[in-house]
Chains A and B, each alone.
Chain A
Amino acid sequence: MVAEKLLIKNLKQGREEAYRQLIEEYGNKLLKTCCLILKDREEAEDVVQETFIRVFNKINTFKEQSGLYTWIYAIAINLSRDRIRIRQDILELKDEWIGNEDVESQVEMNIDRELLRKEIFTMNSLYREILVLFYFEELSIKEISNLLNEKEGTIKSKLFRGRNILKESLLKGGR
Protein backbone atom coordinates (compact mmCIF):
# COMPACT_ATOMS: atom_id res chain seq x y z
CA MET A 1 0.00 0.00 0.00
CA VAL A 2 2.85 2.35 0.90
CA ALA A 3 4.69 1.26 -2.24
CA GLU A 4 1.59 1.96 -4.31
CA LYS A 5 1.21 5.42 -2.77
CA LEU A 6 4.83 6.19 -3.59
CA LEU A 7 4.34 4.89 -7.13
CA ILE A 8 1.26 7.10 -7.57
CA LYS A 9 3.18 10.10 -6.24
CA ASN A 10 6.03 9.46 -8.69
CA LEU A 11 3.57 8.98 -11.53
CA LYS A 12 1.93 12.29 -10.68
CA GLN A 13 5.34 13.93 -10.82
CA GLY A 14 5.75 12.49 -14.32
CA ARG A 15 8.81 10.37 -13.55
CA GLU A 16 9.73 8.03 -16.38
CA GLU A 17 11.03 5.30 -14.06
CA ALA A 18 7.59 5.23 -12.41
CA TYR A 19 5.98 4.81 -15.83
CA ARG A 20 8.28 1.90 -16.57
CA GLN A 21 7.63 0.34 -13.16
CA LEU A 22 3.88 0.45 -13.71
CA ILE A 23 4.15 -1.08 -17.19
CA GLU A 24 6.45 -3.79 -15.85
CA GLU A 25 4.02 -4.58 -13.05
CA TYR A 26 0.77 -4.65 -14.99
CA GLY A 27 1.66 -4.63 -18.70
CA ASN A 28 1.80 -8.35 -19.46
CA LYS A 29 -1.06 -9.20 -17.13
CA LEU A 30 -3.23 -6.57 -18.74
CA LEU A 31 -2.24 -7.73 -22.22
CA LYS A 32 -3.31 -11.31 -21.41
CA THR A 33 -6.64 -10.18 -19.98
CA CYS A 34 -7.38 -7.92 -22.95
CA CYS A 35 -6.33 -10.64 -25.37
CA LEU A 36 -8.74 -13.11 -23.76
CA ILE A 37 -11.56 -10.59 -23.94
CA LEU A 38 -10.82 -9.33 -27.45
CA LYS A 39 -9.60 -12.62 -28.96
CA ASP A 40 -6.98 -10.64 -30.88
CA ARG A 41 -3.37 -10.14 -29.84
CA GLU A 42 -2.67 -7.01 -31.86
CA GLU A 43 -5.86 -5.33 -30.81
CA ALA A 44 -5.12 -6.25 -27.21
CA GLU A 45 -1.68 -4.65 -27.48
CA ASP A 46 -3.24 -1.48 -28.90
CA VAL A 47 -5.68 -1.38 -26.00
CA VAL A 48 -2.87 -1.85 -23.46
CA GLN A 49 -0.88 0.98 -25.05
CA GLU A 50 -3.91 3.25 -25.08
CA THR A 51 -4.68 2.32 -21.48
CA PHE A 52 -1.24 3.23 -20.18
CA ILE A 53 -1.08 6.46 -22.19
CA ARG A 54 -4.46 7.40 -20.76
CA VAL A 55 -3.38 6.42 -17.24
CA PHE A 56 -0.23 8.57 -17.46
CA ASN A 57 -2.05 11.54 -18.92
CA LYS A 58 -4.92 11.38 -16.43
CA ILE A 59 -3.01 10.31 -13.33
CA ASN A 60 -3.50 13.74 -11.76
CA THR A 61 -7.26 13.21 -11.85
CA PHE A 62 -6.94 9.87 -10.01
CA LYS A 63 -8.52 10.47 -6.60
CA GLU A 64 -7.27 7.21 -5.03
CA GLN A 65 -10.79 6.19 -3.99
CA SER A 66 -10.11 2.81 -5.59
CA GLY A 67 -6.84 0.95 -6.00
CA LEU A 68 -4.55 1.89 -8.86
CA TYR A 69 -4.95 -1.63 -10.22
CA THR A 70 -8.74 -1.35 -10.27
CA TRP A 71 -8.55 2.04 -11.99
CA ILE A 72 -6.19 0.76 -14.70
CA TYR A 73 -8.30 -2.34 -15.30
CA ALA A 74 -11.48 -0.28 -15.50
CA ILE A 75 -9.90 1.85 -18.24
CA ALA A 76 -8.66 -1.24 -20.11
CA ILE A 77 -12.01 -3.00 -19.90
CA ASN A 78 -13.84 0.09 -21.14
CA LEU A 79 -11.45 0.45 -24.07
CA SER A 80 -11.87 -3.25 -24.87
CA ARG A 81 -15.65 -2.84 -24.78
CA ASP A 82 -15.38 0.10 -27.18
CA ARG A 83 -13.41 -2.08 -29.60
CA ILE A 84 -15.94 -4.87 -29.33
CA ARG A 85 -18.77 -2.41 -29.83
CA ILE A 86 -17.10 -1.21 -33.01
CA ARG A 87 -16.92 -4.79 -34.20
CA GLN A 88 -20.61 -5.10 -33.30
CA ASP A 89 -19.74 -8.22 -31.47
CA ILE A 90 -22.06 -7.61 -28.56
CA LEU A 91 -25.34 -9.38 -28.96
CA GLU A 92 -28.44 -8.75 -26.95
CA LEU A 93 -28.25 -10.69 -23.70
CA LYS A 94 -31.64 -12.29 -24.34
CA ASP A 95 -30.42 -13.74 -27.63
CA GLU A 96 -27.57 -15.48 -25.96
CA TRP A 97 -29.33 -16.69 -22.84
CA ILE A 98 -29.74 -20.42 -22.61
CA GLY A 99 -32.44 -20.99 -20.08
CA ASN A 100 -31.89 -24.33 -18.39
CA GLU A 101 -31.06 -23.40 -14.81
CA ASP A 102 -30.72 -27.05 -13.78
CA VAL A 103 -27.55 -27.37 -15.79
CA GLU A 104 -25.48 -25.91 -12.98
CA SER A 105 -26.33 -28.78 -10.66
CA GLN A 106 -26.86 -31.39 -13.38
CA VAL A 107 -23.45 -31.64 -14.88
CA GLU A 108 -20.58 -33.53 -13.43
CA MET A 109 -19.20 -34.10 -16.84
CA ASN A 110 -16.11 -35.24 -18.58
CA ILE A 111 -15.03 -31.93 -19.99
CA ASP A 112 -14.09 -31.87 -23.64
CA ARG A 113 -11.30 -29.30 -23.40
CA GLU A 114 -11.19 -28.45 -27.09
CA LEU A 115 -14.90 -27.88 -27.18
CA LEU A 116 -14.71 -25.78 -24.02
CA ARG A 117 -11.87 -23.75 -25.54
CA LYS A 118 -13.92 -23.14 -28.67
CA GLU A 119 -16.99 -22.15 -26.64
CA ILE A 120 -15.05 -19.73 -24.44
CA PHE A 121 -13.83 -17.84 -27.47
CA THR A 122 -17.09 -17.87 -29.39
CA MET A 123 -19.41 -16.91 -26.57
CA ASN A 124 -20.74 -13.38 -26.13
CA SER A 125 -17.96 -11.13 -24.92
CA LEU A 126 -20.13 -9.82 -22.07
CA TYR A 127 -19.98 -13.24 -20.43
CA ARG A 128 -16.40 -13.98 -21.47
CA GLU A 129 -15.31 -10.72 -19.85
CA ILE A 130 -16.74 -11.83 -16.50
CA LEU A 131 -15.29 -15.34 -16.85
CA VAL A 132 -11.84 -13.87 -17.57
CA LEU A 133 -11.98 -11.55 -14.56
CA PHE A 134 -13.34 -14.24 -12.24
CA TYR A 135 -11.37 -17.30 -13.30
CA PHE A 136 -8.24 -15.94 -14.97
CA GLU A 137 -7.67 -12.80 -12.89
CA GLU A 138 -9.16 -14.49 -9.82
CA LEU A 139 -11.00 -11.36 -8.79
CA SER A 140 -13.88 -11.63 -6.36
CA ILE A 141 -17.45 -10.74 -7.31
CA LYS A 142 -17.09 -7.58 -5.23
CA GLU A 143 -13.87 -6.57 -7.00
CA ILE A 144 -15.41 -7.18 -10.43
CA SER A 145 -18.46 -5.20 -9.35
CA ASN A 146 -16.25 -2.24 -8.34
CA LEU A 147 -14.20 -2.51 -11.49
CA LEU A 148 -17.13 -2.60 -13.89
CA ASN A 149 -19.28 -0.32 -11.77
CA GLU A 150 -22.11 -2.84 -11.79
CA LYS A 151 -24.10 -4.39 -8.97
CA GLU A 152 -22.78 -7.59 -7.43
CA GLY A 153 -26.06 -9.29 -8.32
CA THR A 154 -25.57 -8.41 -11.99
CA ILE A 155 -22.06 -9.83 -11.97
CA LYS A 156 -23.23 -13.04 -10.27
CA SER A 157 -26.00 -13.37 -12.80
CA LYS A 158 -23.65 -12.89 -15.76
CA LEU A 159 -21.19 -15.39 -14.30
CA PHE A 160 -23.94 -17.92 -13.75
CA ARG A 161 -25.23 -17.44 -17.29
CA GLY A 162 -21.75 -17.64 -18.76
CA ARG A 163 -21.10 -20.92 -16.98
CA ASN A 164 -24.47 -22.25 -18.10
CA ILE A 165 -23.76 -21.39 -21.71
CA LEU A 166 -20.54 -23.38 -21.52
CA LYS A 167 -22.16 -26.30 -19.71
CA GLU A 168 -25.05 -26.46 -22.13
CA SER A 169 -22.65 -26.54 -25.05
CA LEU A 170 -20.58 -29.24 -23.43
CA LEU A 171 -23.67 -31.32 -22.77
CA LYS A 172 -24.82 -30.94 -26.34
CA GLY A 173 -21.33 -31.64 -27.63
CA GLY A 174 -21.05 -28.27 -29.36
CA ARG A 175 -23.60 -26.04 -31.02
Chain B
Amino acid sequence: MENKDKLGIEIKSIMEEETFDLTLSQKALDNIIQHSKKSLKTKIREFLNREIEIPVAPAIIGFAALLAVTLIPGDLFKSQDIKIIDMGGSYVIIREGYEVSRK
Protein backbone atom coordinates (compact mmCIF):
# COMPACT_ATOMS: atom_id res chain seq x y z
CA MET B 1 0.00 0.00 0.00
CA GLU B 2 2.76 2.40 -0.91
CA ASN B 3 1.59 5.89 -1.61
CA LYS B 4 4.54 6.37 -3.95
CA ASP B 5 3.56 3.71 -6.45
CA LYS B 6 2.41 4.62 -9.92
CA LEU B 7 -1.30 4.57 -9.11
CA GLY B 8 -0.75 6.55 -5.91
CA ILE B 9 1.24 9.22 -7.73
CA GLU B 10 -1.46 9.51 -10.40
CA ILE B 11 -4.24 9.75 -7.80
CA LYS B 12 -2.42 12.52 -5.94
CA SER B 13 -1.63 14.35 -9.16
CA ILE B 14 -5.27 14.23 -10.33
CA MET B 15 -6.50 15.44 -6.94
CA GLU B 16 -4.04 18.32 -7.01
CA GLU B 17 -5.08 19.27 -10.53
CA GLU B 18 -8.72 19.28 -9.49
CA THR B 19 -8.15 21.58 -6.55
CA PHE B 20 -5.14 23.74 -7.42
CA ASP B 21 -7.12 26.99 -7.79
CA LEU B 22 -9.44 26.45 -4.85
CA THR B 23 -9.28 29.08 -2.14
CA LEU B 24 -11.65 30.13 0.56
CA SER B 25 -13.57 33.24 -0.50
CA GLN B 26 -13.42 36.47 1.47
CA LYS B 27 -17.18 36.20 1.99
CA ALA B 28 -16.76 32.80 3.63
CA LEU B 29 -13.96 34.11 5.81
CA ASP B 30 -16.03 37.10 6.98
CA ASN B 31 -18.97 34.81 7.57
CA ILE B 32 -16.90 32.54 9.82
CA ILE B 33 -15.55 35.45 11.87
CA GLN B 34 -18.99 37.04 12.18
CA HIS B 35 -20.65 33.83 13.35
CA SER B 36 -17.83 33.05 15.75
CA LYS B 37 -18.19 36.23 17.78
CA LYS B 38 -19.54 35.33 21.17
CA SER B 39 -22.51 37.05 22.73
CA LEU B 40 -22.32 38.44 26.25
CA LYS B 41 -24.59 35.63 27.43
CA THR B 42 -22.22 33.02 26.00
CA LYS B 43 -19.20 34.74 27.52
CA ILE B 44 -20.86 34.79 30.96
CA ARG B 45 -21.86 31.16 30.65
CA GLU B 46 -18.33 30.19 29.64
CA PHE B 47 -16.90 32.21 32.50
CA LEU B 48 -19.14 30.43 34.99
CA ASN B 49 -18.41 27.02 33.49
CA ARG B 50 -14.69 27.47 33.09
CA GLU B 51 -12.30 25.00 34.59
CA ILE B 52 -9.67 26.34 36.94
CA GLU B 53 -6.52 24.60 38.02
CA ILE B 54 -5.36 25.08 41.59
CA PRO B 55 -1.81 23.95 42.43
CA VAL B 56 -2.15 21.68 45.46
CA ALA B 57 0.94 22.67 47.52
CA PRO B 58 0.37 26.46 47.59
CA ALA B 59 -3.35 25.87 48.17
CA ILE B 60 -2.66 23.70 51.24
CA ILE B 61 -0.13 26.20 52.61
CA GLY B 62 -2.55 29.07 52.09
CA PHE B 63 -5.40 27.16 53.74
CA ALA B 64 -3.21 26.27 56.73
CA ALA B 65 -2.14 29.91 57.10
CA LEU B 66 -5.77 31.03 57.01
CA LEU B 67 -6.69 28.50 59.69
CA ALA B 68 -3.81 29.62 61.89
CA VAL B 69 -4.84 33.26 61.63
CA THR B 70 -8.48 32.59 62.49
CA LEU B 71 -8.13 29.91 65.21
CA ILE B 72 -5.08 30.96 67.24
CA PRO B 73 -5.90 33.71 69.79
CA GLY B 74 -4.33 37.02 68.95
CA ASP B 75 -2.63 37.58 72.30
CA LEU B 76 -1.05 34.14 72.53
CA PHE B 77 2.41 35.40 71.89
CA LYS B 78 1.91 38.80 73.42
CA SER B 79 4.09 39.34 76.53
CA GLN B 80 2.11 40.45 79.54
CA ASP B 81 2.93 43.80 80.97
CA ILE B 82 3.59 43.14 84.63
CA LYS B 83 4.70 45.60 87.29
CA ILE B 84 5.97 44.38 90.65
CA ILE B 85 5.98 46.88 93.43
CA ASP B 86 7.89 46.19 96.60
CA MET B 87 5.98 47.62 99.55
CA GLY B 88 8.00 46.99 102.67
CA GLY B 89 8.71 43.36 101.96
CA SER B 90 5.31 42.70 100.36
CA TYR B 91 5.15 42.47 96.64
CA VAL B 92 2.19 43.76 94.72
CA ILE B 93 1.85 42.46 91.20
CA ILE B 94 0.01 44.69 88.75
CA ARG B 95 -1.03 43.23 85.41
CA GLU B 96 -2.21 45.56 82.70
CA GLY B 97 -4.96 44.52 80.40
CA TYR B 98 -7.01 42.74 83.00
CA GLU B 99 -10.02 44.47 84.29
CA VAL B 100 -11.49 43.45 87.58
CA SER B 101 -14.85 44.77 88.36
CA ARG B 102 -17.18 44.12 91.22
CA LYS B 103 -20.86 44.41 90.95
Contact = CB atoms under 8 A, between A and B. Distances in A.
B6 A108 contact: yes
Given A36-B19, A48-B28, A163 B33 contact: no
A138 interface: yes
A48 to B, nearest CB: 6
Contacts, number: 88
Interface stretch (B7-15, B58-66, B85-93): B7-15
A118 to B, nearest CB: 10
Nearest to B13: A113
A49 B28 contact: yes
A52 B23 contact: no
Contacts of A77: none
B22 to A, nearest CB: 5
A57 B10 contact: no
B2 to A, nearest CB: 10
Contact of A53 (B15, B16, B23, B35): B35
B18 interface: yes
Interface residues of A, number: 41
Interface string A95-120: 00000000000011001010011001
Nearest to B29: A23
Contacts of B35: 49, 53
A41 B25 CA distance: 11
Interface string B22-48: 111100110111011010000100100
B1 interface: yes
Given A111-B7, A135-B12, A49 B38 contact: no
A135 B7 CA distance: 10
B23 A31 contact: yes
Contact of A19 (B1, B18, B32, B50): B32
Interface string B53-91: 000000000000000000000000000000000000000
5 contacts: A20-B33, A56-B36, A135-B15, A136-B15, A138-B12
Interface of A: 14, 16, 19-20, 23, 27-28, 31-32, 35-36, 41, 44-45, 48-49, 52-53, 56-57, 60, 107-108, 111, 113, 116-117, 120, 131-132, 134-136, 138, 141, 156, 159-160, 163, 166-167
Given A49-B32, A111-B7, 17 more contacts: A23-B29, A31-B24, A32-B22, A36-B15, A52-B36, A53-B32, A56-B32, A57-B38, A116-B10, A116-B11, A116-B14, A131-B11, A132-B15, A135-B3, A138-B3, A159-B1, A163-B1
